[in-house]
Structure 1
Amino acid sequence: MISIKNLTFKYSKTKELFKDLNLELEAGKICGLLGKNGAGKTTLLRNMTGLLFPTHGSVYVLGQDVSKRNPEIAKEIFYVQEEYELPAMSIDLYAKIYAPFYDRFDISNFKDLLEKFEVDYSMKTQNLSYGQKKKVQIAFALSTGVKLLIMDEPTNGLDIPSKAQFRKVVISSLREDQSIVISSHQVRDLSNLLDRVVIVEDGSVVLNEDVYDISSALLFRQIQGSNVPENALYHEMIPGGFLVVQPNEGVEQSQIDLEALFNAVVTSKDKVKSIFKNQNMNKDAQL
């Protein structure tokens, strides 16, 4: 679905944001893109959509170079930006104008999703709150039927019930031939949603693993008292003890804590890389 080879990117004469970044993502997955502020998550997403072009390297989606802006590929990509101003018009007119760009747009699904988000289809966009506008964007995006859906901070502006609804509609909308990439600082909003986690740090991809493989390789647990295990990759204080991330040396599977995972990867990068390298080698040996 997405193939990024040796991506180097910089703005004007500034320092390179990415240097020889490589990333492969397959179809049928919901991928979470995580990174610190300034790590280049939005820039990476815009390279995936063809809105920005690599200084060196290539970005291919569905086998085609997105920088060529081929209309056949453009209509298979939808990008929900973090900040986007809807044109002042009724939601109905908005759909009539923009839906024809997408061959598989489902107007019935769009109306159904708006109903689930408690947004009246007859309303005008200029009368919507920020959160309601976000819901319109998400509902429209999920109704396009595109093969690559990219969302940058989609839960910003959503209240707690709407965030739960967001997770439900995203999971129910995914098709086998579709990929969804979500970048967010609100990592708790992505809990139980992701199939794969990608973390960017220092201009490169430092983690790109399926959720199942993460829970097989790492153990996330809470311990009482102050005795942090010597092999802990990361720990943080919680009431009565610590939240710990450590190598999973048995067959136990635990619920992934995305915040703790990110901190473990950033603070113990080499150790985490080694753990997944060994796990992948063992998987290959079993094939």
Structure 2
Amino acid sequence: MIYFDQVSFGYSKQKKLFENLTLHLEPGHIYGLLGKNGAGKSSLLRIMAGLLFPLDGNIHVGGKVPGKRQPDFLQDVFFIPEEIYLPSVTIDKYLEMLAPFYPKFDEQQFRQDITELDIPESNKLTNISFGQKKKFLIAFALAANTKVLIMDEPTNGLDIPSKSQFRKLVSSALDKNRLILISTHQVRDLDNLIDAVIILENSRILLRHSLDTVTERLCFGNLSHVELDKRVLYSEPSIRGYKAVFENSEQVESRIDLEQLFNAVMENPARIQKLFND
């Protein structure tokens, strides 16, 4: 569905942000793209959406070249940027103007979602809060039913109940033919939502695996001592000793902690890559 083969990109030819990047993402999954601020997440998403152009390599999204921005590409890919701008029109007028660009747009689904998200229908879009604007655009994107949905920091500006509603709506929107990619540095917002993770650091992909594979290779839990435990990749003090990520040598089932996984990858990238490549 999304294929990057030996892709290089930079805002100048002298300083490349990505070099020889290869990444394959398949439909039927909700991917979480994690990384620190400045790691290159937004640039990567904009390349996928055809808003930035690679210097070298090949990119296909849904069988199309994003940079050409052809109509059959645009009607099946929806991108929500971190910073959003909505026109000074009502919701009904917005639907009238933009819904026809998406052949599979489901207005009934959209109306249900904005009711679920408590978005007022009478006001102009410029008169609602930033959080409500974000929720409106998320509802519109889900109702567009594109094969590819890309979201950059979609939970910024959402309160805690809205984040829960977001996870519920996104998880229910996935099917075997759809790919959803969510980029965020607010790692906990993706708990119980994604089924595969991509971790980006210094414009390199340090980890790209399903959560099932992660829990096969790593264990998340509490340890009383960590100093002499060679299995430990990351730990932090807790009231029960230490919360830790360690090699799952005994094949113990555990519940993944995305924040701890991210910290483990940042702290021990070479060990993580060796563990997952063996």
Change (3 A) 1:35 1:14: farther
How far the C-alpha of 1:259 sits from its partner, in A, is: 1.3
1:256 maps onto 2:256 in alignment: yes
Partner of 2:81: 81
The question of whether the paired residues in 1 share the 8 Å contact of 2:222 and 2:240 is answered with: no
Q: Percent identity?
A: 46
The question of whether the paired residues in 1 share the 8 Å contact of 2:226 and 2:235 is answered with: no
- State the one-letter code of the partner of 1:246: F
Matching of residues 208-247 of structure 1 within 5 Å: 208-224=208-224, 229-247=229-247
SS of the residue 1:64 aligns to: coil
The question of whether the paired residues in 2 share the 8 Å contact of 1:111 and 1:121 is answered with: no
Query: What is the CA–CA distance in structure 1 between the aligned matches of 2:219 and 2:226, rounded to whole Å?
Result: 18
The question of whether the paired residues in 1 share the 8 Å contact of 2:90 and 2:122 is answered with: yes
Partner of 2:120: 120
How far the C-alpha of 1:272 sits from its partner, in A, is: 1.0
String of CA shifts for 1:123-152, please: whole Å, max 9, x gaps.
Answer: 211210000000001000000010000000
Structure 1, unpaired ranges of 5+: 279-287
The question of whether the paired residues in 2 share the 8 Å contact of 1:198 and 1:207 is answered with: yes
How far the C-alpha of 1:275 sits from its partner, in A, is: 1.3
Partner of 1:34: 34
262-271 vs 191-200, greater mean Cα deviation? 262-271
SS of the residue 1:215 aligns to: helix
1:18 maps onto 2:21 in alignment: no
TM-score scaled to structure 2, two decimals? Answer: 0.96
Give RMSD over aligned pairs.
1.3
Partner of 2:104: 104
- State the one-letter code of the partner of 2:263: N
TM-score scaled to structure 1, two decimals? Answer: 0.93
1:155 maps onto 2:155 in alignment: yes
Partner of 2:165: 165
Change (3 A) 1:56 1:88: same
The question of whether the paired residues in 2 share the 8 Å contact of 1:219 and 1:253 is answered with: yes
Structure 1 stretches of 4+ with a deviation exceeding 6 A read: none
Structure 2, unpaired ranges of 5+: none
How far the C-alpha of 1:234 sits from its partner, in A, is: 1.0
- State the one-letter code of the partner of 1:123: N
How far the C-alpha of 1:220 sits from its partner, in A, is: 0.7
SS of the residue 1:132 aligns to: helix
Query: What is the CA–CA distance in structure 1 between the aligned matches of 2:269 and 2:135, rounded to whole Å?
Result: 36
228-237 vs 30-39, greater mean Cα deviation? 228-237
- State the one-letter code of the partner of 1:10: G
- State the one-letter code of the partner of 1:111: R
SS of the residue 2:221 aligns to: strand
Query: What is the CA–CA distance in structure 2 between the aligned matches of 1:12 and 1:225, rounded to whole Å?
Result: 48
231-240 vs 33-42, greater mean Cα deviation? 231-240
1:67 maps onto 2:67 in alignment: yes
SS of the residue 1:12 aligns to: coil
